[in-house]
Structure 1
Amino acid sequence: MIPKILLLYLFFLCKLSISKRISPDLSSLRTGKLEDCQRCKILTDSFKHWLSGTSRGKHEGGDAAWEEAKLKSYSRSEMRLVEIQEGLCSELKKYQDHCYTLAEEVEQVLEKWWFYEDPETVDLYTWLCIDNLQYCCPPNHFSESCIPCPLDKNNKLCGGHGKCDGDGTRKGNGTCICHTGYTGNYCEECSKNFYLSNSICMPCHKACDGCSGEGVNSCNKCKNGWIMQSKSCIDIDECSSSSLCKENQYCVNREGSYKCKNCDPSCKSCKGDGSANCTLCDDMYTLWSGKCVGKEQKYEIVFNVAKRLTLYIGLLIISVFIFRNNKYFAAFTIVIIAIYIFTLENSSTVNLLELILNMN
């Protein structure tokens, strides 16, 4: 007798725990309202989830033989129902409080289904949401009376390209809510900027303002940012106009539009991204090969260029004198000088770039 008392005590504690867990957070309920049918569908889906999750459970502890003799099998036991109710709604990441609230409201109704209906033949959603609570309607039905949604001349619901307003609920007026690309009373027509291809409405090219087929050659008109040339919509290069962007910005052309981007901070105006595309500098800087450099750096660059130029002229004069005396030796000398100049120029270019980058 003791195990039975203990079992009843545990059952009472579980029911008390469930009652606490399904107390709703009213502040969250105000922020996201759901229709009754949606709430009921969420609840029944959660119930089925935990029904599946407890499908292999069994009684634990106590006198197993006494449990099997005196209690129902675990699959339809009160203990399993309590386990389901404990987990009910807890797995949800969205609308959890709505689920908890409805679970508390219909707790006794759920127990009635559990103990008196066969879950193998009586679907919980249909039994609870449609037949008992009357929150929902069968698929393809709407309104308080759950009347069938209207069909087109081919007996299709919204031409197979939409659903009726209120479908599956006790609300709505039954008019067709068409999928993207379709319009009309029964979604039998293509929307603007869509064209019919093999009984399917396909999107026009992004350059078109209405079209008769695929591609830019089928446009009825061109959208803003495009222009019709030779019966085809061509992108307009807005950046060809220099007055679109501010002085410290440069223009980037895009299909059908453009965008102004800020120049590098070292530039007063520019023609592109980075510090090497400046077209104008502040008064204290000088434009040098697309970069804004200070006076001291400018003099250093000019001095290095002059020094190398003097060296190269000197080497050239030496080569001329050698050429007069020995052509073969002069040719060899010129090759050596060429290699030397090439190496020196590469090194100087790297040093020059480092100098200018360090300034910025």
Structure 2
Amino acid sequence: MESREKNQYFDGGLCKPCHSTCESCDGPTEHACLSCASPLILQGTRCVAVCDKGFFHDKGTRLCEPCLHTCTKCVSKTNCSECVAGLLLQSGECSPTCAAGYFSDKGVCSRCYMSCRTCSGPAHNQCVNCPAGWQLLSGECRPDCPEGYYKTEYGCQKCHYSCRNCIGRYS
């Protein structure tokens, strides 16, 4: 039995060359690689320049590792950069909804305007709910209702047209 080189495999008593992309292999095809010469990285049993979608390059092992099942792209096992359909990306994680204080912007959770508790967009007048003690008026969260408006559990409401100030619609 002859001695085998690193870029060869043993077949029927003979050493045969690996595919040109393989550093070591257990067969002749590009899908029989066991390791790869730099700069290529091993994904499954083939050597690639860049990991396929759904995988990330683990620089410590020089392997393409799978992303979490909720990610279509990731930079590490626990840090997604793109989510599967129906999920939203927030701080590297994929979930069905954005956390309070964030809104969905093309599949990515973005921060609401600072005075909003929840919102439909980034602008100061796109608030949906306000923090405790604040009042909603025309999509804006305010500490108090302006003149001509009164506080309700749903936000600032306009006083009756004949009233300059009120504590209710007609008073």
**Fold in common (TM above 0.5):** no
TM tier relative to shorter chain: 0.3 to 0.5
TM-score by length of 2: 0.39
By percentage of residues, which structure has more strand? 2
By percentage of residues, which structure has more helix? 1
TM-score by length of 1: 0.22
